[in-house]
Amino acid sequence: MAAIHVILVLLAVFQGGSLQRTYSEASTQELLESVFVAIEKLSAFFKSDYSQVNVDGLFGLRLGQGQLIAALKEGGDLTYDLASRLEALEEEVEFTCQQVLPYVEARDEEYFKRFRLTVEDPYMLPYTPIDLHPPATNRTITDTTSYNEEAGDICLSKIMGTFVHDDVPVPVCTSDEDCFQMMTKQGTTGYTLTHQLLYFILGHKMDCERELQDVAGQEVDIADIEARMCEEIYQDALQLIQDGDVPSGDQDLFMEQISLCGVLGFQNFMRSDWMKMVLKWPSSEGCFTLQLTPQQENVARQMRSLMSGLKKKVDRQRAERSCDQPNPPTGRKLLREFPMRDGCMAHKSGLGFSTLATYLRHLLMSVPRNK
């Protein structure tokens, strides 16, 4: 009798474990489909309004496109349906990016020349799944000053070899002590911290790991610097969540935190509750919006009007290959916001795309494969 009881208990445990795994697989499939639908809709939005995309939106598309390409390479045994949808999505993104480039260049030719390498092709980055172990206590923030965009842009352009000093461009992968100290300064937070990480991501994109490691010295490993930054970014992200959601004004920072650490493989950012939260943010158009004050909305209308004129100019340039009209004045800084149609925002929507693409790659690793 006792033996029968043991067998029944073991059977119940086994069945329970089996049911748990089935439930987990079903949840992953459901979440994967939700992310797939959201990113397909967002991609279609960008394709329909490509003339309004700025450098920031294009950066998000390129960052996310790298995740799609990597998922395709890793997904040789994905089901035909998943592989086909993934391939079609990546092709659509590439088409949109190619359409966007002339408009970005026409908006500010000098700035485009300086930062074209950040947006002209996908970000293919080193990716190793890593679990961080951030401390449970709140970290100490010693630097609350705003990010120095001018100095930061100079450091980024030096990495790309597009910075010109005394009419002479610096070599690609130039990383000096001043830039390295700025980009590794501890105790920072918010956009300052994510832009510090962006410096190293761009270094990976430009194959500058050796040069960065030379500046860091033998006692410091670049991978350890990135891990330290993402531990701190993860703690910052937790602080942004209030009552199970992130306020509208902080959502772009939250997605920047997820995107930049997620593309490097840090698994702490791949939380299903965060995925479900982000999936609630897109508008009916599929894009990401921002609540504007009446004054900001007035500025947004003026900017959209400028862009309407710019679209006509670029269209003529494509047809005639010449145009003598001056470029409209625009914002100069990398990672700035720009209004698109229906209240959609280029920077925030670009970050939304890269976040969803990072989620998609992660979830595709967990779904059943062809045998």
| The model's pTM | 0.84
For residues 348 and 355, the answer to whether their CB atoms sit within 8 Å is no
pLDDT given at position 311: 45
Maximum CA pair distance of the chain? 95
Closest CA to 240 of 194, 286, 283, 288: 194
pLDDT given at position 142: 82
> How many residues does this entry show for the chain?
371
For residues 290 and 79, the answer to whether their CB atoms sit within 8 Å is no
Judged against a pLDDT cut of 80, whether residue 249 lies above it is answered with yes
CA distance 215 to 212: 5
Judged against a pLDDT cut of 60, whether residue 48 lies above it is answered with yes
Name the percent of the chain in helix, strand, coil, to the closest 5. 65, 5, 30
Judged against a pLDDT cut of 70, whether residue 141 lies above it is answered with yes
Q: What's the first-to-final CA gap in the chain, in angstroms?
A: 42
Judged against a pLDDT cut of 70, whether residue 207 lies above it is answered with yes
pLDDT given at position 297: 52
pLDDT given at position 368: 67
Mean pLDDT across 89-108: 95
Residue, of 31 and 330, whose pLDDT is higher? 31
For residues 112 and 160, the answer to whether their CB atoms sit within 8 Å is no
pLDDT given at position 371: 58
Among the residue ranges 56-60, 76-80, 215-219, 311-315, the one predicted with the least confidence is: 311-315
CA distance 344 to 281: 12
Mean pLDDT across 267-286: 97
DSSP H or E segment with residue 169: strand 168-169
CA distance 369 to 371: 6
Backbone angles phi, psi at 339, to 5 degrees: -75, 140
Judged against a pLDDT cut of 90, whether residue 87 lies above it is answered with yes
pLDDT given at position 11: 39
Residue 245's beta-bridge partner residues?
A: 242
On average, the pLDDT of the chain sits at: 84
Judged against a pLDDT cut of 80, whether residue 18 lies above it is answered with no
Mean pLDDT across 284-303: 67
pLDDT given at position 20: 35
Percentage with pLDDT > 70 across the chain = 80
Among the residue ranges 76-85, 119-128, 285-294, 310-319, the one predicted with the least confidence is: 310-319
Q: Coil, strand or helix: which one is 1?
A: coil
pLDDT given at position 135: 78
pLDDT given at position 319: 40
Domain residue limits, the chain: 2-364
Residues with Cβ within 8 Å of 153's Cβ and at least 6 positions away in sequence, in order, are 114, 115, 333, 334
Judged against a pLDDT cut of 90, whether residue 235 lies above it is answered with yes
pLDDT given at position 294: 52
**pLDDT tens digit string along 311-368?**
444 454 544 433 343 333 333 344 567 889 988 999 999 999 999 999 999 999 887 6
pLDDT given at position 306: 52
Residue, of 20 and 228, whose pLDDT is higher? 228
pLDDT given at position 3: 47
CA distance 173 to 185: 20
